[in-house]
């Protein structure tokens, strides 16, 4: 082989490798691994070994010392906290009371390096806001994922425990790099089979891989497991045989997985079994499980996502069911509450359980997967949504009692603080379907660690680590990310509209949807209430009264049509079409302008993105470009569908300076996408 041929072959090989590397599989962890840093440590453990290895191969600064110790300064922090001191050019020390704190410190150093952030002098003290920072996988045992838009599950139950996907470790590393320390492996609509001995063997293998990265494994359990798996007559939580079955099962689990995290339970919700089937309360059910796990340090995360078809406003029901049992839960139970009172809508007010339940630990449940925000087709950066949620003032202890402070232990010092995000991870090579959906996984981890970070900071970190350091890219693309959620709200459901999605999926618009015999609270009309007079859900004291579940003075603010934030106007009020908005427009006109603004914004995103072609690799550029085209078309679809449909009630013209609809309502009504609720 002569030199030229060798050169060509090598060139091809490197090119191929380079191209392959730009498929998004490396997420935000793209640091070169050619460094040869000096790293010393005073202890050894699998976790510390990972920290040393990460730094050795990627850290380009001065020597690093990883010091495990329990000094006074460190004892003021949470166990996962760490202190970084020194100088990037002279020498750096990372201290923590825990192995995982050192690993987090190592990732922090690498993040500083990869974002080219800050001065050489380092004096960083970090302590997480929430003790438990969990992903919830809604992954079914057959490999499908409920609300999954990035392919099938990464958990290969059919291959485990023998065959181990390299993804498990990559997953662990990615999560550790952003501080996530727990994961619920299976869907909250749980198959009892997960608790069979066969499956527990598989779970053990995953737990062993995740453990060195500081990630505990949790499982969603089916409340009827004693009956279904154990052959008991029922699963009444006050029945001793049932309690014994759970104690035995807990013992079996902990023999395999000594640091098993605990159970996540969806009970008496959307057809799932639960304690109410036996006339017992949520507290009865949760406490029974908590008692079984307590000897091992396990916890129960009991979901508050409950509602029944009936006359009561769905938005009120969780509050109605859970407030009476406030304070009746064991110390190792935490009630997991979705951010809003309905269901992960594009924009919701916060759930009134936050600031409502004072005597029970509550953990927010955020949705990272974009069930209601364009799946993995739309670029929607969720940090701004979550920040709005965290920063919402509950007024439960006067002004400043934000949702964040009611859940992170600041206001209610329970023994547990936690937060969960419904994962958007699948087996797609880029993990999340859309390259920018990775930013939501990243942002969830970063905010779970520190909800005081701004969306701007997180977007900038993620972009610099994931794409490039060039400001010509960072500045416009970051702005696009920061605007993207509000944009999606505009073209989907502005002004507090909610749940006007298609019946068969939660992707496209179907405000007209009417399925004979369907549960009213699963139909868009239930939520938008459009009629000739106006539109919106009257939740004032003259309507469903949902406003009364909030503390004063928020309650009164929301109740007043003039004081209610306009972004939530139609959530709380049925508003006349001619109602004057604060900008002087009528409600109808404003609705039209909001939808159109959404469309124009996505078109701007396309322009912004197309200008980025030279800054980044072709492969990811094209992929995102292609998704933005879909988003652009979808935005027009949403706008036309909603405006043409609501116009049949308003009877008013779309303001004539707005781009006109390009679809016929009748044709839009015929669109039936072949999309399911899992994938």
Active-site residue set: 270, 343, 371
If we measure between CA atoms, which residue out of 471, 404, 481, 491 comes closest to residue 443? 481
Contact 180, 450 (CB under 8 A): no
**Interacting span for its own copies (CB under 8 A) from 196-204, 342-350, 584-592, 653-661:** 653-661
180 or 668, CB closer to its own copies? 668
State which of residues 11, 626, 648, 671 lies at the interface with its own copies (CB under 8 A).
626
Terminal-to-terminal C-alpha distance of the chain? 49
- Is residue 632 at the binding interface for its own copies, with CB under 8 A as the rule? yes
Residue 289 DSSP one-character state: H
Contact 126, 144 (CB under 8 A): no
State which of residues 659, 671, 672, 676 lies at the interface with its own copies (CB under 8 A).
659
Q: How far apart are CA 384 and CA 453, in angstroms?
A: 11
- Is residue 670 at the binding interface for its own copies, with CB under 8 A as the rule? no
Q: How far is the CB of 653 from its own copies (least distance, A)?
A: 7
Q: How far is the CB of 668 from its own copies (least distance, A)?
A: 11
Residue 122, strand partner residues = 86
Q: How far is the CB of 660 from its own copies (least distance, A)?
A: 4
User: Tokens representing 186?
Assistant: 């299976």
Radius of gyration of the CA atoms of the chain, in A: 26
**Interacting span for its own copies (CB under 8 A) from 251-259, 434-442, 556-564, 601-609:** 601-609
- Is residue 70 at the binding interface for its own copies, with CB under 8 A as the rule? no
Q: How far apart are CA 200 and CA 252, in angstroms?
A: 9
247 or 652, CB closer to its own copies? 652
231 or 656, CB closer to its own copies? 656
657 or 674, CB closer to its own copies? 657
The DSSP-derived string for 509-572 is: B-TT---TT--GGGSHHHHH---SSEES---STTTT-GGGGSPTTHHHHHHSTTTS-GGGHHHH
72 or 660, CB closer to its own copies? 660
If we measure between CA atoms, which residue out of 398, 437, 209, 418 comes closest to residue 299? 418
State which of residues 255, 610, 648, 676 lies at the interface with its own copies (CB under 8 A).
610
State which of residues 44, 580, 629, 676 lies at the interface with its own copies (CB under 8 A).
629
- Is residue 611 at the binding interface for its own copies, with CB under 8 A as the rule? yes
- Is residue 532 at the binding interface for its own copies, with CB under 8 A as the rule? no
**Residue in the structure block whose two tokens are 């470009």:** 625
Q: How far is the CB of 661 from its own copies (least distance, A)?
A: 7
State which of residues 79, 328, 525, 603 lies at the interface with its own copies (CB under 8 A).
603
User: Tokens representing 585?
Assistant: 């427009």
**Interacting span for its own copies (CB under 8 A) from 210-218, 531-539, 576-584, 602-610:** 602-610
Q: How far apart are CA 351 and CA 501, in angstroms?
A: 21
Q: How far apart are CA 427 and CA 421, in angstroms?
A: 18
Q: How far is the CB of 639 from its own copies (least distance, A)?
A: 13
State which of residues 560, 664, 672, 673 lies at the interface with its own copies (CB under 8 A).
664
**Interacting span for its own copies (CB under 8 A) from 149-157, 492-500, 540-548, 625-633:** 625-633
SS3 content of the chain, % helix, strand, coil (to 5): 45, 10, 45
- Is residue 660 at the binding interface for its own copies, with CB under 8 A as the rule? yes
Neighbours of 212 (CB within 10 A): 21
- Is residue 161 at the binding interface for its own copies, with CB under 8 A as the rule? no
- Is residue 30 at the binding interface for its own copies, with CB under 8 A as the rule? no
- Could you give the angle at which helices 471-492 and 383-390 cross, rounded to 10 degrees? 70
37 or 481, CB closer to its own copies? 481
Question: Over 467-499, what HEC string results?
Answer: CCCCHHHHHHHHHHHHHHHHHHHHHHCHHHCCC
Size of the residue set binding its own copies (CB under 8 A) = 21
Strands (E) located in 359-516: 362-367, 418-422
**Interacting span for its own copies (CB under 8 A) from 231-239, 288-296, 515-523, 629-637:** 629-637
Q: How far apart are CA 389 and CA 566, in angstroms?
A: 16
Q: How far is the CB of 658 from its own copies (least distance, A)?
A: 8
- Is residue 669 at the binding interface for its own copies, with CB under 8 A as the rule? no
- Is residue 613 at the binding interface for its own copies, with CB under 8 A as the rule? yes
Q: How far apart are CA 679 and CA 187, in angstroms?
A: 13
- Is residue 531 at the binding interface for its own copies, with CB under 8 A as the rule? no
187 or 484, CB closer to its own copies? 484
Residues in the chain: 679
Q: Which of residues 633-652 bind its own copies (CB under 8 A)?
A: 633
For residues 344 to 373, the per-residue mask of contacts with its own copies, x marking binding by CB under 8 A and - elsewhere, is ------------------------------
State which of residues 653, 672, 673, 676 lies at the interface with its own copies (CB under 8 A).
653
Sorted by sequence, the CB contacts under 8 Å of residue 557 that are 6+ apart come out as 563, 564, 565
**Interacting span for its own copies (CB under 8 A) from 67-75, 420-428, 584-592, 657-665:** 657-665
Q: H or E element: which one contains 628?
A: helix 618-650
574 or 627, CB closer to its own copies? 627
Contact 421, 499 (CB under 8 A): no
517 torsion bin: left (phi>0), alpha (psi -120 to 50), beta (else): left
User: Tokens representing 235?
Assistant: 């699963």
Sorted by sequence, the CB contacts under 8 Å of residue 32 that are 6+ apart come out as 58
- Is residue 397 at the binding interface for its own copies, with CB under 8 A as the rule? no
- Is residue 568 at the binding interface for its own copies, with CB under 8 A as the rule? no
49 or 606, CB closer to its own copies? 606
- Is residue 90 at the binding interface for its own copies, with CB under 8 A as the rule? no
- Is residue 472 at the binding interface for its own copies, with CB under 8 A as the rule? no
Q: How far apart are CA 318 and CA 330, in angstroms?
A: 19
**Interacting span for its own copies (CB under 8 A) from 103-111, 492-500, 569-577, 604-612:** 604-612
541 or 671, CB closer to its own copies? 671
State which of residues 1, 163, 398, 656 lies at the interface with its own copies (CB under 8 A).
656
Question: Over 209-278, what HEC string results?
Answer: HHHHHCCEEEEEECCCHHHHCCCCCCCCCCCHHHHHHHHHHHHHHHHHCCCCCEEEECCCCCCCCCHHHH
Strands (E) located in 279-341: 299-303, 333-338
Q: How far is the CB of 626 from its own copies (least distance, A)?
A: 6
Q: Is 74 helix (H, G, I), strand (E, B) or coil?
A: helix
- Is residue 470 at the binding interface for its own copies, with CB under 8 A as the rule? no
Q: How far apart are CA 89 and CA 661, in angstroms?
A: 60
Q: What is the contact surface with its own copies in residues (CB under 8 A)? A: 603, 606-607, 610-611, 613, 626, 628-629, 632-633, 653-654, 656-657, 659-664
């Amino acid at each position: 082989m002569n030199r030229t041929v060798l050169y060509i072959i090598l060139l091809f090989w490197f090119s191929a490798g380079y191209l392959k590397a730009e498929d998004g599989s490396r997420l935000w962890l793209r640091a070169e691994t050619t460094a040869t840093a000096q790293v010393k440590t005073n202890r050894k453990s699998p976790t510390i070994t990972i920290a040393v290895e990460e730094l050795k191969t990627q850290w380009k600064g001065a020597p690093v010392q990883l010091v495990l110790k329990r000094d006074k300064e460190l004892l003021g922090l949470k166990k996962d906290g760490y202190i970084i001191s020194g100088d990037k050019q002279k020498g750096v020390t990372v201290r923590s009371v825990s192995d995982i704190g050192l690993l987090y410190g190592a990732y922090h150093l690498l993040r500083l390096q990869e974002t080219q952030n800050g001065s050489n002098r380092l004096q960083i003290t970090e302590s997480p806001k929430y003790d438990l920072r969990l992903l919830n996988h809604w992954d079914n045992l057959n490999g499908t994922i409920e609300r999954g838009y990035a392919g099938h599950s990464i958990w290969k139950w059919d291959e485990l425990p023998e065959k181990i996907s390299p993804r498990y470790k990559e997953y662990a590393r990615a999560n550790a790099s952003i501080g996530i320390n727990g994961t619920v492996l299976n869907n909250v609509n749980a198959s009892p089979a997960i608790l069979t001995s066969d499956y527990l063997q598989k779970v053990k293998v995953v737990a062993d891989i995740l453990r060195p990265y500081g990630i505990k494994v949790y499982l969603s359990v089916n409340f009827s497991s004693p009956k279904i798996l154990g052959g008991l007559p029922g699963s009444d939580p006050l029945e001793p045989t049932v309690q014994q079955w759970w104690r035995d099962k807990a013992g079996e689990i902990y023999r395999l997985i000594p640091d098993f995290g605990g159970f996540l339970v969806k009970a008496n919700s959307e057809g799932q079994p639960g304690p109410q089937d036996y006339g017992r309360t949520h507290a009865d059910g949760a406490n029974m499980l908590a008692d079984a796990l307590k000897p091992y340090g396990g916890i129960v995360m009991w979901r508050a996502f409950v509602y029944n078809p009936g006359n009561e406003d769905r938005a009120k029901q969780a509050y109605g069911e859970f407030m009476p049992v406030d304070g009746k839960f064991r110390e190792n139970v935490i009630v997991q509450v979705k951010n809003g009172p309905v269901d992960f809508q594009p924009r919701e007010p916060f759930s009134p359980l936050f600031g409502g339940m004072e005597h029970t630990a509550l953990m927010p449940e955020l949705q990272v997967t974009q069930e209601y925000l364009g799946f993995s087709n739309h670029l929607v950066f969720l940090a701004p949504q979550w920040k709005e949620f965290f920063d919402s003032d509950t007024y439960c202890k006067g002004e400043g009692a934000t949702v964040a402070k009611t859940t992170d232990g600041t206001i209610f010092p329970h023994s547990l603080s936690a937060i969960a995000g419904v994962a958007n991870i699948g087996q797609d090579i880029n993990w999340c379907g859309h390259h920018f959906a990775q930013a939501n996984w990243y942002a969830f981890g970063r905010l779970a660690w520190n909800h005081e970070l701004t969306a701007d900071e997180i977007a900038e970190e993620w972009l610099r680590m994931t794409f490039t350091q060039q400001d010509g890219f960072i500045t416009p693309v970051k702005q696009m990310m920061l605007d993207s959620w509000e944009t999606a709200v505009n073209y989907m459901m502005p002004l507090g509209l909610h749940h006007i999605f298609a019946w068969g999926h939660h992707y496209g618009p179907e405000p007209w949807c009417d399925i004979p015999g369907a549960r009213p609270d699963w139909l868009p009309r239930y939520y938008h209430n459009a009629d000739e007079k106006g539109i919106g859900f009257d939740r004032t004291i003259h309507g469903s009264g949902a406003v009364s579940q909030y503390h004063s003075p928020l309650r009164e603010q929301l109740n007043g049509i003039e004081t209610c934030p306009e972004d939530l106007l139609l959530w709380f009020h049925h508003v006349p079409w001619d109602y004057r908005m604060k900008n002087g427009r009528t409600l109808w006109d404003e609705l039209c302008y909001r939808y159109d603004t959404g469309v124009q914004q996505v078109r701007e995103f396309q322009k912004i993105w197309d200008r980025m072609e030279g800054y980044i690799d072709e492969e990811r550029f094209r992929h995102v470009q292609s998704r933005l085209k879909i988003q652009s078309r979808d935005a027009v679809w949403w706008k036309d569908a909603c405006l043409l449909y609501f116009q049949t009630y308003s009877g008013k013209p779309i303001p004539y300076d707005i781009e006109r609809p390009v679809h016929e309502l009748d044709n839009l009504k015929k669109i039936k996408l072949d999309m399911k609720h899992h994938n």
